[in-house]
Chains A and B, each alone.
Chain A
Amino acid sequence: MSEVATAVVQEAPNSASFAPNGHTPKAAIIRLDRLSKHYTEAGQTQLVLDELNQEFYEGEFVCLLGKSGSGKSTLLNLISGIDAPSNGDVVIYDGARDVRITALSEQQRTLFRRNHIGIVFQFFNLIPTLTVLENVTLPLELAGKEDRDHAVALLERVGLGNRLQTYPDKLSGGEQQRVAIARALAHDPLLVLADEPTGNLDEDTGDTVLTLLLELTRDAGKTLFMATHAPEVARQADRVLHLVHGKLNGAR
């Protein structure tokens, strides 16, 4: 914990005046500070994210639009600590203090993610050897905790209360993504990151899944950061950002 403390920015979190949907103004929960990422391939450097400065707030639904290959997934991976930036910082307020994700060791980033971040992937990415219920309790179990009731309640919310012992390969795409949503929320994270969560689903199923995801995150007061290239999703977002040529442009 002391190592985590070194990564904590000691000054008070930035105050903000943003009030999503007319709620009371909330504090910035994620701060991107001159965040850059480039890849080098065959001696050529390709800049994917170019000195991003941005803040996201508690309870906010941020929609990140951009073409394929624009760097949306990269930004999500940097926020979750799955990937490391080339320059700059990602700072997340964990409820008590600001944590500089970029200053954490790999092990610390994993533990931070396990405790504070939920992820929904485009390809569902359920663990095939675990049942529906086990997939949902996975983040908790990895942390040595167990809250079966919460997991069951979440699965009932997503309409899969009767499929607890089913293995993922017996589920449809939409069902799998609903399990993934439950898994992302099971450990009560600060922040849910969703990377094209409807990208692999048909329109109707995609709508259902999106509605569920929004409902659950809003009800729980979680920040939802969603990367997509479907503009219609943006209609429901509190804020829409466009990632173009490595820069974030606010549309709303």
Chain B
Amino acid sequence: MQNNHYSLKTYLRLAWRHARRRPLQSLFFVLGVAIGVAMMVAIDLANGSAERAFALGTETVTGKATHQILGGPSGLDEQIYGRLRRELGYRDSAPVVESYVTASELDAQPMRLLGIDPFAEAPFRSYLGIGPQATGTADYLPPLLVQPNTVLLSAVVAERYGLAVGDSIHIRVGTQNHTLTIVGLLQPSDDLSRRALDGLLITDIATAQELLDRVGRLDRIDLLIPTGAAGTATLDTIAAILPPSARIETTAARSGTVSEMTAAFSLNLTALSLLALVVGMFLIYNTVTFSVVQRRPVLGTLRALGMTRREIYGLILLEAGVLGALGTALGLGLGILLGRGAVQLVTQTVNDLFFVVAVREVAIPVFTLVKGSVIGVLAALFGAAIPALEAMSVAPAGALKRSDIEDRARTALPWVSAGALLLLAIGVALLLPEFNLYIAFAGLFAVILGGALLAPVLTLWFMVGVQRVEGKQLGVISRMAPRTIVRSLSRTGVAVAALMVAVSVIIGVGIMIGSFRSTVEAWLEDVLQADIFISVPALGSNQANAALEPAVVDRLATIPGIAQTATNRTIEGVAYLADLPTATGETATGAVVADGTPVSIIALSEDLAGAERNYTTAVGDWQETWAAVEEGAVLINEPMANRYKLRVGDELALQTDRGVQRFPIVGIAVNFDVRPNVFFHDPVYRHYWDDNALSAIAVFVAPGVDVEEKVAELRAAFAGDEELLIRSNRGTRQNALDVFDRTFAITVALQLLATLVAFIGILSTLMSLQLERSREIGVLRATGMTRQQLWRLSLLETGLIGSSAGLIAMPMGLALAIILIYIINLRSFGWTLQMQLEPQYFGQAFFVALGAALLAGLYPAWRMGQMEPAEAVRSE
């Protein structure tokens, strides 16, 4: 035991002294790990924060409820609640009216306006501290119940925004503005209630009904149903008194479907965040190889002095572990900082594409930190494992020469290349069959790793080619550069591989985003036919609760210069894609007790896209298909068809206000909504749903009318308390593309960081090569090579490394683009994209590789020039 203690001390001393002598190399190692870990932690925090914020928003507001009674677009009649309590005597129920609103005094962040019955609350949301039994509520309960437009909010929030009891806040609900008075501040009793209260504005249910224009209606009724037979019986009893438009869902189902929806998005980001760590492992490999090569006499001496092979292996891994731990610690800190920025980007995307979520704090879960730590240290150890094996093979008295390592690397090259081909084959095998997304990503990483392992042999061939082309035409410096790269292939090959991976990802993701953008642009061109679009400002992507009065259409008809209008109504609906557990729902009376899948139901007054609408499959041409929709059939979007394996001819069971109804699918339309979409003809929709509201109006102006002028005129005409969004076709399209660009902002940031790691990798490689060659450089200087000639030599070498990486990255990037477009994207989101190959992606990426290499070469070249030849040639 004591022996071990001493040897560990010796190891640490040796490691520390070495690190101190080569601080830059140690710094590169630490940075490589740190950036990799930081990216992973940042994305993990961002994904986690958005998910947790959503969970808080739903689950904590749902409270202890096990089930919910839900209605159609117009909600539930509030008399159902009365019948539930009076006729059935069922007390474990609480009515809720809620919506997202913004308040100018609260930074205009989305807040959930929760209208509740304080007397029914206690069993459900006890942490709100509301209810006759709760202490300290007496003061604010009477005004909350009696005075209109009164609100409670968290004392913590009030303090944050400098608000007090008696102050007013101005909220915006859809197109309406209202003023509310704060009548009480809720003191959170613990951390959970603090976080739950953070995003809530609580009003009496009657106030909420008035504010949200839902008098006499409820959004849902929360239930506490026991498990087992008694519970099932209770559910059946409740279902029997419900109208066919209602349904009963478990509360667990909702958060489940939502996390399923964002899972693919999170996974894509996580995969991309791992990229920097993969690139970082190449850097670690290079740094450790260099430290082993450089210390071969020391390692030989240690072996001669009695250190066993295993101890040498342990020494190298210990060093890597310590530096890895340092890098990991730094990476965790950096990741938390970056995470705050990433949260903004991720939250914005989640809001744009999926659902309303406001992240008020970036929680730092221990799990994320532990995961980051373990992966960071493991990556360091993994990257160091092969060089540590090399170190083991150092014979006593340091017989291992650098050229031995190169010889061994050269012998291993065919095996490495064969391994690369095998990995590529495995990658393809994992990608082609329709396995789940995780396996597809494993396949993608196998392809990337396979490509990286091919880099050394391709670099070798490239350098041989360069020498052939050059022949004898060029000077000695041009001949030396490619040979130096070949001679140090074990390191230069790895540097090329790292840079190639980063650059090929830039190409692959660039082509994917570019193709995606042009596909979306073309699609917008097709579907956005009208000149002007009028809608209600909605928080996030969710248009369902934002409604326009049908009277707007009538008013439009009176405005001159408008040729035609068409309408769109979008609501959040529910589809039953599995067999229903009971037959009750299929009957005209009673409600379904089952968990459905949320879908967007979109009712179109006419098919404006017409011939321009692209169908992946349909029952006939566009006219026949639309005629079928007018007859009562539906269209679904491609993501929905792909995700749920639905085909033309299948029947789709939807919850309507007339109970569950089945609709034949007659077409699968190409569209880029991540959520499942079901398209109806407007009259059919109105037949099945008791809803007369509109979500958007498309306006065609008469020939010769200036669209922008008409937009201004409409804005003036509708100015007042109704805040309508009136945008021209161009503005609408731009808005959609802005959302698109925001979505990919984080992707670009992640790519840049991975490239930064590759850059550090090249810098580290060049510096280690330069240190190794210090004698050679000394001799060259002694023989008469000027500093300028040395610069030329150095930059030529780095230029060749960069060019190799850039050239190999081109086919690799193309392969990645194909995988991303046709496999990952399709399986993640169900989108079919048209690949657009533009030479600029390849050109830019090549120059990124070359530029990164040359930039990384500047400092080593400068150091080479500064080197004292007298020192360098002195002795071995």
Binding site for B on A (CB under 8 A): 73-74, 77, 80, 82-83, 106-107, 110-111, 113-115, 119, 121-123, 125-130, 134, 137-139, 141-144, 169, 183
Residues from chain A with Cβ under 8 Å of B868 in the complex = 83
- Determine whether the beta carbon of A115 is less than 8 Å from that of B875: no
Residue of A nearest to B874 (CB): A73
Residues from chain B with Cβ under 8 Å of A121 in the complex = 779, 782, 873
Which of the listed residues A80, A83, A111, A125 has the most CB atoms from chain B within 10 Å of its own CB? A125
- Determine whether the beta carbon of B784 is less than 8 Å from that of A110: yes
Answer whether A134 and B779 are a contact pair too, CB < 8 Å, given A82-B870, A121-B873.
no
- Determine whether the beta carbon of B869 is less than 8 Å from that of A142: no
CA distance A176 to B726 in the complex (A): 84
Residue of A nearest to B789 (CB): A142
Residue of A nearest to B775 (CB): A125
Answer whether A119 and B783 are a contact pair too, CB < 8 Å, given A128-B776, A129-B483.
yes
Which of the listed residues B479, B782, B876 has the most CB atoms from chain A within 10 Å of its own CB? B782
Answer whether A114 and B403 are a contact pair too, CB < 8 Å, given A77-B870, A127-B480.
no
**Can you give 21 contacting A-B residue pairs, CB < 8 Å?**
A73-B874, A74-B870, A82-B781, A106-B787, A107-B786, A111-B784, A113-B783, A115-B784, A121-B779, A125-B776, A127-B480, A127-B779, A129-B480, A129-B487, A130-B476, A130-B483, A134-B479, A138-B780, A142-B786, A143-B784, A169-B403
Residues from chain B with Cβ under 8 Å of A83 in the complex = 868, 870
CA distance A111 to B785 in the complex (A): 8
Residues from chain B with Cβ under 8 Å of A74 in the complex = 870
Answer whether A141 and B476 are a contact pair too, CB < 8 Å, given A107-B786, A110-B786, A128-B776.
yes
Tell yes or no: B168 within 8 A of A by CB.
no
- Determine whether the beta carbon of B783 is less than 8 Å from that of A123: no
Which of the listed residues A114, A129, A169 has the most CB atoms from chain B within 10 Å of its own CB? A129
Answer whether A127 and B784 are a contact pair too, CB < 8 Å, given A77-B870, A142-B476.
no
For B775-803 the 0/1 string (1 means CB < 8 A from A) is 11011111111110100000000000000
Answer whether A128 and B487 are a contact pair too, CB < 8 Å, given A110-B786, A122-B875.
yes
CA distance A73 to B782 in the complex (A): 13
- Determine whether the beta carbon of B875 is less than 8 Å from that of A127: no
Tell yes or no: B484 within 8 A of A by CB.
yes
CA distance A119 to B869 in the complex (A): 13
Tell yes or no: B475 within 8 A of A by CB.
yes
Residue of A nearest to B784 (CB): A114
- Determine whether the beta carbon of B785 is less than 8 Å from that of A110: yes
For B372-416 the 0/1 string (1 means CB < 8 A from A) is 000000000000000000000000000000010000000000000
Binding site for A on B (CB under 8 A): 403, 475-476, 479-480, 483-484, 487, 775-776, 778-787, 789, 868-870, 873-876
Chain B nearest Cβ from A12, distance in angstroms = 28
- Determine whether the beta carbon of A82 is less than 8 Å from that of B479: no
Residues from chain A with Cβ under 8 Å of B483 in the complex = 129-130
Residues from chain B with Cβ under 8 Å of A169 in the complex = 403
CA distance A113 to B780 in the complex (A): 11
- Determine whether the beta carbon of B784 is less than 8 Å from that of A130: no
CA distance A83 to B776 in the complex (A): 17
CA distance A73 to B476 in the complex (A): 28
Residue of A nearest to B773 (CB): A128
Residues from chain B with Cβ under 8 Å of A127 in the complex = 480, 776, 779-780
Residues from chain B with Cβ under 8 Å of A107 in the complex = 786-787
Residues from chain B with Cβ under 8 Å of A143 in the complex = 784
CA distance A39 to B131 in the complex (A): 86
Chain B nearest Cβ from A176, distance in angstroms = 12
Chain A at the B interface: SS class: helix
Residues from chain A with Cβ under 8 Å of B786 in the complex = 107, 110-111, 114, 142
Chain B nearest Cβ from A152, distance in angstroms = 15
- Determine whether the beta carbon of B869 is less than 8 Å from that of A82: yes
Chain A nearest Cβ from B227, distance in angstroms = 77
CA distance A111 to B787 in the complex (A): 11
Residue of B nearest to A112 (CB): B784
- Determine whether the beta carbon of B480 is less than 8 Å from that of A142: no
- Determine whether the beta carbon of B783 is less than 8 Å from that of A183: yes
- Determine whether the beta carbon of A125 is less than 8 Å from that of B779: yes
Chain B nearest Cβ from A110, distance in angstroms = 5
Answer whether A110 and B781 are a contact pair too, CB < 8 Å, given A73-B874, A82-B869, A142-B789.
yes
CA distance A38 to B476 in the complex (A): 37
Residue of A nearest to B790 (CB): A110
Chain A nearest Cβ from B809, distance in angstroms = 26
- Determine whether the beta carbon of B782 is less than 8 Å from that of A142: no
Chain B nearest Cβ from A121, distance in angstroms = 6
Residue of B487, B782, B875 near A82 (CB, 8 A) is: B782
CA distance A119 to B784 in the complex (A): 10
Residues from chain B with Cβ under 8 Å of A183 in the complex = 783
Residue of B nearest to A124 (CB): B779
- Determine whether the beta carbon of A80 is less than 8 Å from that of B776: no
Residue of A77, A113, A122, A125 near B784 (CB, 8 A) is: A113
Residues from chain B with Cβ under 8 Å of A128 in the complex = 403, 487, 776
CA distance A111 to B782 in the complex (A): 10
Residues from chain B with Cβ under 8 Å of A82 in the complex = 781-782, 869-870, 873
Answer whether A123 and B484 are a contact pair too, CB < 8 Å, given A110-B781, A143-B784.
no
CA distance A144 to B785 in the complex (A): 11
- Determine whether the beta carbon of B787 is less than 8 Å from that of A137: no
Residues from chain B with Cβ under 8 Å of A110 in the complex = 781, 784-787
Answer whether A139 and B403 are a contact pair too, CB < 8 Å, given A73-B874, A125-B873.
no
Chain B nearest Cβ from A31, distance in angstroms = 21
Residues from chain A with Cβ under 8 Å of B782 in the complex = 80, 82, 113, 119, 121
Other A-B pairs beyond A122-B875, A128-B776, 14, CB < 8 Å = A74-B870, A82-B782, A107-B786, A110-B784, A113-B783, A114-B785, A115-B784, A121-B779, A127-B776, A127-B779, A128-B487, A134-B479, A138-B476, A142-B789
Answer whether A139 and B870 are a contact pair too, CB < 8 Å, given A129-B480, A134-B479.
no
Chain A nearest Cβ from B638, distance in angstroms = 57
Which of the listed residues A82, A119, A130 has the most CB atoms from chain B within 10 Å of its own CB? A82
Chain A nearest Cβ from B158, distance in angstroms = 66
CA distance A129 to B475 in the complex (A): 14
Residues from chain B with Cβ under 8 Å of A139 in the complex = 783-784
Chain B nearest Cβ from A178, distance in angstroms = 16
Residues from chain B with Cβ under 8 Å of A130 in the complex = 476, 479-480, 483
CA distance A142 to B479 in the complex (A): 12
Residues from chain A with Cβ under 8 Å of B783 in the complex = 113-114, 119, 138-139, 142, 183
Residue of B nearest to A143 (CB): B784
CA distance A129 to B868 in the complex (A): 21
Chain A nearest Cβ from B573, distance in angstroms = 71
Residues from chain B with Cβ under 8 Å of A138 in the complex = 476, 780, 783
Residue of B nearest to A130 (CB): B480
Residues from chain B with Cβ under 8 Å of A80 in the complex = 782
Which of the listed residues B403, B780, B781, B783 has the most CB atoms from chain A within 10 Å of its own CB? B783
Chain B nearest Cβ from A141, distance in angstroms = 4
- Determine whether the beta carbon of A123 is less than 8 Å from that of B875: yes
Residues from chain B with Cβ under 8 Å of A113 in the complex = 782-784
Chain A nearest Cβ from B10, distance in angstroms = 26
Residue of A nearest to B480 (CB): A129
Residues from chain B with Cβ under 8 Å of A119 in the complex = 782-783
Residues from chain A with Cβ under 8 Å of B870 in the complex = 74, 77, 82-83
Residues from chain B with Cβ under 8 Å of A114 in the complex = 783-786
CA distance A77 to B875 in the complex (A): 13
- Determine whether the beta carbon of A129 is less than 8 Å from that of B787: no
Q: Which 5 A-B pairs have the closest CB atoms?
A: A114-B784, A129-B483, A83-B870, A141-B476, A125-B779
Chain A nearest Cβ from B481, distance in angstroms = 9
Residues from chain A with Cβ under 8 Å of B785 in the complex = 110, 114, 142
Which of the listed residues B476, B779, B784, B870 has the most CB atoms from chain A within 10 Å of its own CB? B784
Residues from chain A with Cβ under 8 Å of B869 in the complex = 82
CA distance A183 to B869 in the complex (A): 18
Residue of A nearest to B865 (CB): A106
Residues from chain A with Cβ under 8 Å of B779 in the complex = 121, 125-127
